[in-house]
């Protein structure tokens, strides 16, 4: 019968289940190997029952090694014997593969009727190829139904194979069934196993035994451990064993012998035991291999089977003289190899590791080296070759360094930084040429900064201090990365060492003008970075630190321009000069050298202080794209952090939170240098406060700061945001103390510009709240003076807004100045605060004028006339709501509602209000609805009446 006939017979047998009861064998010997085999047992029961009706059958059971196919065949033997069926059994073994009729001899020896056939069968091994005992077997089968069971038919000797094929061709004439088992890993099964024309009209059943499901594994756990297993435990066991019944059984037995219980606390233990059991099974199968050629190919396949095609694997093993078909059959027969996607592969990583570990160390290393070279010639995947080179001894090949660098780049693109670092470390072992070595060291440090910052620091320090032209070309970039890492204290010493290592720019020949310019540019870059590091370090008073060299007037390198721009900005003088220097530092390709990141970040920060926020944003986006493209995580994280501060200045806390989260992915918090902790913590707290996540900000502020980290400039930022948190908690005394402490640190580091952190205005507001008006006014005036000296509209507007809160006589004028200056910035939140304050002040001023105008008339009419209508209710009689509503209901509005109400009263549409407040239009609609409800008014018209006050009266 063809394929459709096989399916029909299988379906028919599936519905005729005899008297088999699923689950009867679970607790019998070997019962764990029969878990979830109820359907297969039912089919075999039906085949055996139909033998009595004279219906022959061929049943083939396949499965991965350990799937329990032989145990199922032995169950069928017992089941058939219980029902009076004659059973003849045999098992093909590797030892009898060269013995003629080895399996046939086992089958016939099981019954006395064939005793006369055995002597010539074994004595005449070189005789003609007939089928001894076959006719007698068919005759005996007609007298009594007979079941032939052959295990491991993939190991049949050729004569036994032909004998069984002859038997299958004769089955339609006898009540005889052939039941065979084999490994599904092999592709050398006899023809009858696949339903060929040999089977004729005989019922053909093919059973492929799958691995245990999660439910079946849970049943095994309950049977062996005498308790129900935890869900996570069962999942881990299923994954670790692949559902292989034999491995599950052996793992559980060893697990229970160790006294463990199947719960979540022992998930790791069961994984370890499963790996041990799988490795022992592999070792046993490995020990059974006696052909050296097959063993060599198996080892080569374990090393590079996923990378090279099988003919190349055979060539690598040096077994080209052995036919590939024979090698394939022997490998599949071992049970250590399977066919996946048409290719031979070792069964699982545990088996692969066991095969490789069995080799001597020197031989293993040499095999990996030969495999890497062959894979390189075959243009295989770079990461695959890199994995081979990681396990091979250095050979000094130039291609190996290039391949490992490409493999590292591919690993970084995939987000595997640990692997990339391993490839680069291995590349340094070759060893590469001096220039290549310096380049690889720098790339390795960039990678390790995100996973092992201490190791990266050591590599950078060594590269900076290393003499020679090759190291000198990368010295400034290494120092730049050191500063980005956050260890500003050590950076100063490292940069000092770098300048000392190359005092004269490696002394290029005077005639080589290009080399002279290159050396001067490198030295200027190191000097610029040293000027960045020196103010950021803490030097004990008893140690006199030499100052950084002063740049010459002819210094025009981008690095020096960026540093000088920042120095000018923090002093708070020369805004135009700072802007010019910052733009010079950010000009693309002006120096012909790879630009440094720290000076460009300082230039972007300078543009933030000068008020050129859009320009700074453009450059920051370009810097991030560059850092991300070149896989420099520390630089990318620093750029994202500065861009988050830009979003906070623009009143976009949602975008700031996005960039902070992205920075955490680029540079995980655990990989940051302890001295940079205040900087990152301050940024996170400021972002959380701006987004209304006060509890999260409070939790971050309460975490302990690493030792000495708060003594650096980042500590000033942390003190400042803690002051903002104290303001949120309505604690002006603590806020004032924190803001003053932040200011002291900033002044100590030479940061005078109020555009950097407006700590004076914050102290002034807190002092005013505490009743210290003189001090508040003094600080507010000082900040306004410094802001006007700097000239940035944002700083001036913030200072004017602070002064206006002191309730001076010129309050409205100062608020108008604040609105004017802040309206020229991108800080929409500060602008909105100023607008709301101005509207409130103007409304109060009009109300006071109205009171003054009404007072004489009220005095003439008497007290009852005054009580009839209060002038403090700035409402037209036609407004339609209680006249005394606004004064005591206006404070009930939230800050967001109050801002939306003021902007709506000034005539802005909902879309414009949403843009100004950085919220959605729907949010504006909800806030205005709440405003109308709380103020007991019906819409914008009455809101505008409230804003106009009593002008119509």
Tens-digit pLDDT profile for residues 213-254: 999 999 999 989 989 999 999 999 999 998 989 999 999 999
Q: What pLDDT score was predicted for residue 816?
A: 86
Residue listed under structure tokens 């190997």: 33
> Worst-scoring range by mean pLDDT, 282-291, 696-705, 846-855?
846-855
Q: What pLDDT score was predicted for residue 889?
A: 65
pLDDT at 114 over 70: no
Cα–Cα distance, 929 to 940 (Å, whole number): 10
Q: What pLDDT score was predicted for residue 609?
A: 94
- Judged by DSSP in three states, 543 sits in coil
Structure tokens at 611: 């008020």
Asked if domains 3-210 and 555-667 share a fold, the reply is no
- 0.95 exceeded by the pTM? no
- Residue with more model confidence, 441 or 28: 441
Q: State which of 322-326, 504-508, 514-518 shows the largest mean pLDDT.
A: 322-326
Distance of CA 470 to the CA centre of its chain: 35
Q: What is the pLDDT of residues 812-828, one digit of tens each?
A: 888 888 888 888 887 77
Residue-averaged pLDDT of the chain: 81
Helix axes 921-935, 910-917, angle to 10 degrees: 110
Bridge partners for 208 per DSSP: 62
Q: What pLDDT score was predicted for residue 15?
A: 38
Cα–Cα distance, 299 to 109 (Å, whole number): 39
Q: What pLDDT score was predicted for residue 503?
A: 57
Q: What pLDDT score was predicted for residue 953?
A: 36
Distance of CA 226 to the CA centre of its chain: 40
Distance of CA 919 to the CA centre of its chain: 31
Scored b (16 or more CB within 10 A) or e, 224-244 reads bbeeebbeebbebbbebbbbb
Residue 115 DSSP code: G
Q: What pLDDT score was predicted for residue 592?
A: 58
Cα–Cα distance, 740 to 759 (Å, whole number): 7
Return the CATH class of domain 3-210.
alpha beta
User: Cα–Cα distances in Å, from 939 out to 874, 919, 935?
Assistant: 16, 21, 10
Q: What pLDDT score was predicted for residue 475?
A: 85
Q: What pLDDT score was predicted for residue 470?
A: 79
Ranges assigned E (strand) in 199-333: 203-209
- ∠ at Cα 221 (218, 227), nearest 5°? 105
> Worst-scoring range by mean pLDDT, 341-355, 385-399, 816-830?
816-830
Structure tokens at 202: 């005989």
- In this structure, is the dihedral angle defined by the CA atoms of residues 439, 440, 446 and 452, taken in order, positive or negative? negative
Residues 6+ positions from 136 with CB-CB distance below 8 Å: 113, 114, 117
What average pLDDT does the segment 547-565 reach?
Answer: 75
Structure tokens at 484: 């980005």
User: Do 928 and 942 meet the contact criterion of CB atoms below 8 Å apart?
Assistant: no
Q: What pLDDT score was predicted for residue 936?
A: 76
pLDDT at 807 over 80: no
pLDDT at 8 over 50: no
Maximum distance among all alpha carbons in the chain? 147
Q: What pLDDT score was predicted for residue 782?
A: 94
pLDDT at 544 over 70: no
H or E segment to which residue 57 belongs? strand 57-63
Cα–Cα distance, 685 to 705 (Å, whole number): 14
pLDDT at 843 over 50: yes
CATH 1.25.40.10 fits 555-667, yes or no: yes
Fold of 872-948: Rossmann fold (3.40.50)
What average pLDDT does the segment 266-283 reach?
Answer: 90
Q: What is the pLDDT of residues 937-946, one digit of tens each?
A: 878 877 776 6
Q: What pLDDT score was predicted for residue 683?
A: 94
- Residue with more model confidence, 604 or 804: 604
User: Cα–Cα distances in Å, from 218 out to 212, 215, 221, 228, 255?
Assistant: 9, 5, 5, 7, 14
Q: State which of 118-122, 165-169, 298-302 shows the largest mean pLDDT.
A: 298-302
Q: What pLDDT score was predicted for residue 874?
A: 33
Residue 650 DSSP code: T
Residue 808 — very low, low, confident or very high, per pLDDT cuts 50/70/90? low
Q: What pLDDT score was predicted for residue 148?
A: 93
- Residue with more model confidence, 732 or 588: 732
Bridge partners for 182 per DSSP: 62
Cα–Cα distance, 864 to 92 (Å, whole number): 120
pLDDT at 131 over 90: no
User: Cα–Cα distances in Å, from 786 out to 572, 653, 793, 947?
Assistant: 7, 28, 12, 35
Residue 645 — very low, low, confident or very high, per pLDDT cuts 50/70/90? very high
Domain boundaries, the chain: 3-210, 215-286, 433-509+516-537, 555-667, 673-741, 872-948
Q: What pLDDT score was predicted for residue 790?
A: 94
What average pLDDT does the segment 494-511 reach?
Answer: 62
What average pLDDT does the segment 492-521 reach?
Answer: 66
In 3D space, the residue among 430, 324, 344 whose CA is nearest the CA of residue 386 turns out to be 430
């Amino acid at each position: 019968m063809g394929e459709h006939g096989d399916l029909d017979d299988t379906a028919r047998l599936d519905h005729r289940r005899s008297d088999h009861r699923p689950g009867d064998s679970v607790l019998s010997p070997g019962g764990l190997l029969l878990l979830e085999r109820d359907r297969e047992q039912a089919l075999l029961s039906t085949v055996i029952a139909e033998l009595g009706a004279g219906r022959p059958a061929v049943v083939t059971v396949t499965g991965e090694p350990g799937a329990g196919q032989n145990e199922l065949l032995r169950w069928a033997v017992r089941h058939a014997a219980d029902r009076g069926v004659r059973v003849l059994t045999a098992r093909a073994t590797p030892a009898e593969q060269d013995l003629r009729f080895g399996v046939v001899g086992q089958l016939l020896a099981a019954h006395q009727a064939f005793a006369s056939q055995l002597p010539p069968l074994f004595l005449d091994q070189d005789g003609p190829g007939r089928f001894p005992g076959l006719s007698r077997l068919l005759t005996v089968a007609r007298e009594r139904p007979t079941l032939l069971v052959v295990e491991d038919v993939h190991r049949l000797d050729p004569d036994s194979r032909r004998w069984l094929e002859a038997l299958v061709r004769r089955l339609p004439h006898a009540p005889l069934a052939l039941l065979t088992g084999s490994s599904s890993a092999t592709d050398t099964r006899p023809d009858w196993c696949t339903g060929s024309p040999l089977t004729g009209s005989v019922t053909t059943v093919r059973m492929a035994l799958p691995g245990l499901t999660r439910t079946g594994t849970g049943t095994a756990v309950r049977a062996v451990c005498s308790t129900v297993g935890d869900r996570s435990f069962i999942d881990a066991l299923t994954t670790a064993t692949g559902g292989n019944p034999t491995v599950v059984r052996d793992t559980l037995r060893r697990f229970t012998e160790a006294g463990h219980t199947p719960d979540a606390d022992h998930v790791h233990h069961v994984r370890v035991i499963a790996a041990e059991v799988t490795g022992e099974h592999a070792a046993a199968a490995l020990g059974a291999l006696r052909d050296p050629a097959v063993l060599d190919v198996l080892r080569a396949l374990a090393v590079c089977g996923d990378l090279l095609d099988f003919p190349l694997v055979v060539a690598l093993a040096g077994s080209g003289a052995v036919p590939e078909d024979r090698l394939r059959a022997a490998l599949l027969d071992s049970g250590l190899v399977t066919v996946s996607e048409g290719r031979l592969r070792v069964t699982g990583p545990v088996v692969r590791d066991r095969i490789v570990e069995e080799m001597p160390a020197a031989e293993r290393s040499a095999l990996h080296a030969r495999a890497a070279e062959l894979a390189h010639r075959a243009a295989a995947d770079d990461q695959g070759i890199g994995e081979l080179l990681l396990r091979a001894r250095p050979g000094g090949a130039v291609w190996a360094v290039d391949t490992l660098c490409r493999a590292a780049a591919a690993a970084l693109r995939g987000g595997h930084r640990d692997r990339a670092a391993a490839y680069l470390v291995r590349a340094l072992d070759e060893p590469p040429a001096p220039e290549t070595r310096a380049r690889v060291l720098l790339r390795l440090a960039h990678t390790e900064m995100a996973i092992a910052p201490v190791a990266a620091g050591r590599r950078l320090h060594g590269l900076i201090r290393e003499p020679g032209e090759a190291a000198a070309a990368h010295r400034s970039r290494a120092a730049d990365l050191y500063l980005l890492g956050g260890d500003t204290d050590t950076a100063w010493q490292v940069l000092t060492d770098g300048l000392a290592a190359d005092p004269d720019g490696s002394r290029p020949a005077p005639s080589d003008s290009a080399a002279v310019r290159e050396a001067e540019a490198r030295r200027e870059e190191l000097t610029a970075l040293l000027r960045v590091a020196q103010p950021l370090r803490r030097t004990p008073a008893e140690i006199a630190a030499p100052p950084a060299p002063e740049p010459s007037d002819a210094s025009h390198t981008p690095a020096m321009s960026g540093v000088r721009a920042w120095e000018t900005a923090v002093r708070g003088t020369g805004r135009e000069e700072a802007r010019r220097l910052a733009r010079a530092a950010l000009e693309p390709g002006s120096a012909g050298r790879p630009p440094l990141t720290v000076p460009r970040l300082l230039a972007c920060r300078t543009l933030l202080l000068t008020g050129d926020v859009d320009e700074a944003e453009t450059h920051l986006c370009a810097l991030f794209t560059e850092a991300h493209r070149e896989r420099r995580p520390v630089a990318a994280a620093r750029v994202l952090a500065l861009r988050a501060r830009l979003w906070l200045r623009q009143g976009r806390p949602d975008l700031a939170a996005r960039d902070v989260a992205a920075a955490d992915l680029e540079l995980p918090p655990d990989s940051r240098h302890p001295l940079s902790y205040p900087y990152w913590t301050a940024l996170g707290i400021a972002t959380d406060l701006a987004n209304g996540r006060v509890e999260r900000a409070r939790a971050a502020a309460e975490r302990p700061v690493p030792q000495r980290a708060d003594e650096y400039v980042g500590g000033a930022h942390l003190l400042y945001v803690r002051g903002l948190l104290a303001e949120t908690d309505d604690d002006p005394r603590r806020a004032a103390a924190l803001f003053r402490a932040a200011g002291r640190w900033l002044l100590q580091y030479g940061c005078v510009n109020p555009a950097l952190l407006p700590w004076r205005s914050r102290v002034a507001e807190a002092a005013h709240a505490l009743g210290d008006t003189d001090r508040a006014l003094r600080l507010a005036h000082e900040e306004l003076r410094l802001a006007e000296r700097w000239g940035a509209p944002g700083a001036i507007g913030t200072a004017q807004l602070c002064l206006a809160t002191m309730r001076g006589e010129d309050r409205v004028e100062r608020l108008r100045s604040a609105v004017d200056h802040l309206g020229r910035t991108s800080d929409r939140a500060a602008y909105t605060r100023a607008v709301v304050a101005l509207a409130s002040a103007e409304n109060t001023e009009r109300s006071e004028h109205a009171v003054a105008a009404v007072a004489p008339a009220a005095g003439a009419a008497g007290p009852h006339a005054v009580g009839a209508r209060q002038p403090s209710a700035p409402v037209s009689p036609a407004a339609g709501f209680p006249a005394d509503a606004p004064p005591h209901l206006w404070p009930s509005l939230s800050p967001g509602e109050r801002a939306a109400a003021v902007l709506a009263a000034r005539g802005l549409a909902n879309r414009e209000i949403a843009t100004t407040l950085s919220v959605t239009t729907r949010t504006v609609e909800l806030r205005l609805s709440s405003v109308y409800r709380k103020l007991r008014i019906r819409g914008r018209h009455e809101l505008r009446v409230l804003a106009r006050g009593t002008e119509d009266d």
